[in-house]
Structure 1
Amino acid sequence: MRKNFGAKAWTYPQPVFIVGTYDEEGRPDAMNAAWGGIDYDDRINLCLSEGHKTVKNLLVTRAFTVSMGTADQLVACDYVGIISGNKEPDKFAKAGFHAVKSEFVNAPLIEELPMTVECELVSYDPQTCHLVGRIINVSADESILNEKGKIDPAKLRPLIFDPVNMGYLVAGERVGNAFKDGTALKR
């Protein structure tokens, strides 16, 4: 038997994205955004309301980064989601984050978050809060790479937002092989 909950913005997993920008004076800012995902091979979509300092910044710079929130940085990642950059100009530093300018876009890489998607703004609709970015580069710290030089989710330990229970989970356990295990059902 199923229980019906009605129309809710509930899916699993919902990644914890930390969106980084520079303001007009070059100060870094970051916010936590759980509603987003990949669209096309080179597009990322986020739902961000126009009142956020981060949105104001990226509309000026036309660039942003999306770092994966990690279990190791859970407190800082949650902090940048509950404190507004409009009210706390030193939010980035108070989170304990350190910025390094991306080589590819005018936005900060966050040293403490080892995986980042670097993006240029494609479009933003303030009425629907729909933001689209073009992925220019993905960078990862060597500390989260496996022996083949690929990102290892078990080392990254990305956070997942649990919208039903208002919590964070961590991803990383491998339970199967994509595009292989299902072939067992082929006839």
Structure 2
Amino acid sequence: MRKNFGAQTWMYPMPVLIVGTYDENGVPDAMNAAWGGIYETNQIMLCLSESHKTTQNIRKKGAFTVSFATAKTVVPSDYVGIASGNKVPDKLEKAGFHTEKSAFVDAPLIQELPMALECKLVKFNEDGIVIGEIVNVSAAESILDADGNIDAEKLDPIVFDSVQHVYRKLGDVAGTAFSDGKQLQ
């Protein structure tokens, strides 16, 4: 038997995305955006309200970064989601985040977040969806495995549980993609 909840914004897993931008004066800003994901092979989409400083910055600069919040950065990652850049101009400093300029787009990388997608704006849809082209993925060496690839366990990303309103850690490996299902062929 199932219980019906009606239309809800519940999806598992929902990555906790930290969107980094610069304003017209080159001041870095970041926000926590739970509603986003891969749009095309080399594109990402974010659902951002027009009122966000981040949205205005993307419109002005045509670029942004998307970093993945981690278990170690829960507090500052949550803070940049609850503090508005329109009201708290130094929220990155208050969060304890430090930035450096991306070599690929006119947007900041947050040093405490070890993996980022560096994106240039493709377009804004009429319904507030931001579509960006991923021009580079950068990762701190601390989260790489012996072969030089990103190790999800070392990254330790968190996901947003929109039902319980908590952040959760990802779990163990459950199977091998594009392989396990072959046993049914």
3-state SS of 2:132 partner: strand
Instruction: Tell me which residue corresponds to 1:173.
Output: 172
Distance change in 2, residues 1:149/1:172 (3 Å): farther
For this pair of structures, how many residues does the alignment match?
Answer: 185
**1:135 Cα offset (Å):** 0.5
3-state SS of 1:14 partner: coil
How many percent of aligned residue pairs carry the same amino acid? 59
Are residues 1:158 and 2:151 paired?
no
**1:128 Cα offset (Å):** 1.5
CA contact (8 A) 1:120 1:136 kept: yes
Are residues 1:19 and 2:51 paired?
no
Counterpart AA for 1:47: C
Superposed counterparts of 1:105-120, under 5 Å: 105-120=105-120
Instruction: Tell me which residue corresponds to 1:65.
Output: 65
Instruction: Tell me which residue corresponds to 2:99.
Output: 99
Aligned equivalents of 1:173 and 1:138: distance in 2?
24
CA contact (8 A) 1:155 1:172 kept: no
Counterpart AA for 1:143: S
CA contact (8 A) 1:153 1:172 kept: no
Moved over 6 A (4+): none
Distance change in 2, residues 1:20/1:65 (3 Å): same
CA contact (8 A) 1:117 1:139 kept: yes
Aligned equivalents of 1:145 and 1:53: distance in 2?
33
CA contact (8 A) 1:37 1:44 kept: yes
Which blocks of at least 5 consecutive residues in structure 1 are unaligned? Answer: none
**1:109 Cα offset (Å):** 0.4
TM-score under structure 2 normalisation? 0.98
RMSD after superposition: 0.8
Summarize deviations over 1:50-77 as a string: whole Å, max 9, x none: 1001111111000000000101000000
TM-score under structure 1 normalisation? 0.97
Summarize deviations over 1:139-178 as a string: whole Å, max 9, x none: 0001001111111110001110000000100125212111
